[in-house]
Structure 1
Amino acid sequence: MWLPIHINEQSAEPLYYQIEVQLRALIVSGQLEEGLLLPSIREFAQRLKCSIITIRRVYQDLEAEGLLRTKQGTGTYVAKVENKDKDRYRLEAVIEAFNTAIEAGLRVQCSKEELYEIFQKALQRYQFN
């Protein structure tokens, strides 16, 4: 099974974190349905050209959050995620992205006003219902 996970080797974020964030987003958005069998740790690591330990950590972290479940001898599956939990994960992901963007702005000494302006311009690029 192919998963649309993209890693950026130039990023300051650890590899496991990049993979974990994207896999979590696929699960809570419903793009990966409950019961879906994920690639084995070895297979996933080979596809992403990373360490087996990296993928094991991602799977363990997401299993601890209740997003994955592992059945000994059969593999790792997407767990049932309640709607209230999906909403919480969804909003947490957006808040985290905002925090990362704000930190990037602060590193280059953007003012609060500049950050507001950037945010408003970014919102204008998208159409909302």
Structure 2
Amino acid sequence: MRIVVSNKAGQPIYQQIEDQIKTAILSGDLAAGTLLPSIRQLARDLQISVITTTRAYHDLEEQGFVTNVQGKGSYVLGQDSALVREHALRDIEQYLGQALDAAALAKIPPAELHTMLDTLIAAEGGTDVHE
């Protein structure tokens, strides 16, 4: 598993770690039962604080993505499809909320937001949102 963090990403490093591990789990790159690098090893590899990696692993455990086995390490948990969907919906709601806040500040009307979303979906090869 390869994790890349950046101080310039505009996102806390622990969040970057969480997001990359979640993505790997949800995409199937990290299968259930896979042992993650130890907190200390990951901190050493990324040249960051152990506190930062501890926060990322703790948050992943709270969200049900990993489990910590005392003295053995952190292991990937199997993902229930309903749980995966719920996490995705929560993330999407958060990002859409941020987009709505930015649109309100810029006084962009809802019709233009709909057009932007339709355009983004079409560009990604998705289907029309009105289907």
Please classify the TM superposition score into its range, dividing by the shorter chain length. 0.7 to 0.9
What residue number does 2:58 align with? 60
Q: Which one scores higher on RCO, CA 8 angstroms, separation ≥ 6?
A: 1
Q: CA deviation at 1:107?
A: 4.7
TM-score, structure 2 as length reference? 0.78
Q: CA RMSD in A?
A: 2.3
The offset of 1:20, in angstroms, is 1.7
SS in 1 for 2:67: strand
Does residue 87 of the first structure (1) align with residue 85 of the second (2)?
yes
Amino acid at match of 2:84: K
- Provide the C-alpha distance between the structure 2 equivalents of 1:33 and 1:110, rounded to a whole number of angstroms: 43
Q: Does 1:31 align with 2:33?
A: no
**Aligned partner of 1:31: which letter?**
D
**TM-score w.r.t. structure 1 length?**
0.78
Residue 56 of structure 1 aligns to a residue whose secondary structure is helix
Q: Secondary structure at the match of 2:48?
A: coil
Unaligned runs of 5+ in 1: none
**Within 1, Cα distance between the matches of 2:19 and 2:36?**
16
Amino acid in the other structure paired with 1:52:
V
**1:125 aligns to what?**
123
1:104-119 matches, within 5 Å, as 104-119=102-117
Gaps of 5+ in 2: none
Moved more, 101-110 or 23-32: 101-110
Range moving further from structure 2, 45-54 or 101-110: 101-110
Question: Which has the larger Rg?
Answer: 2
CA distance in 2, matches of 1:110, 1:52: 43
Deviates more, 1:23-32 or 1:53-62: 23-32
Contact conserved, 1:25 with 1:93, CA < 8 A, in 2? no
Match status 1:44 vs 2:21 = no
Q: In the TM superposition, what is the alpha-carbon distance from 1:84 to its structure 2 partner?
A: 1.6
Shift of 1:108: 4.4
SS at 2:74 equivalent: strand
Describe the SS at the equivalent of 1:77: strand
Pair 1:81–1:21, CA change in 2 (3 A): same
Aligned residues with identical type, % of pairs? 31
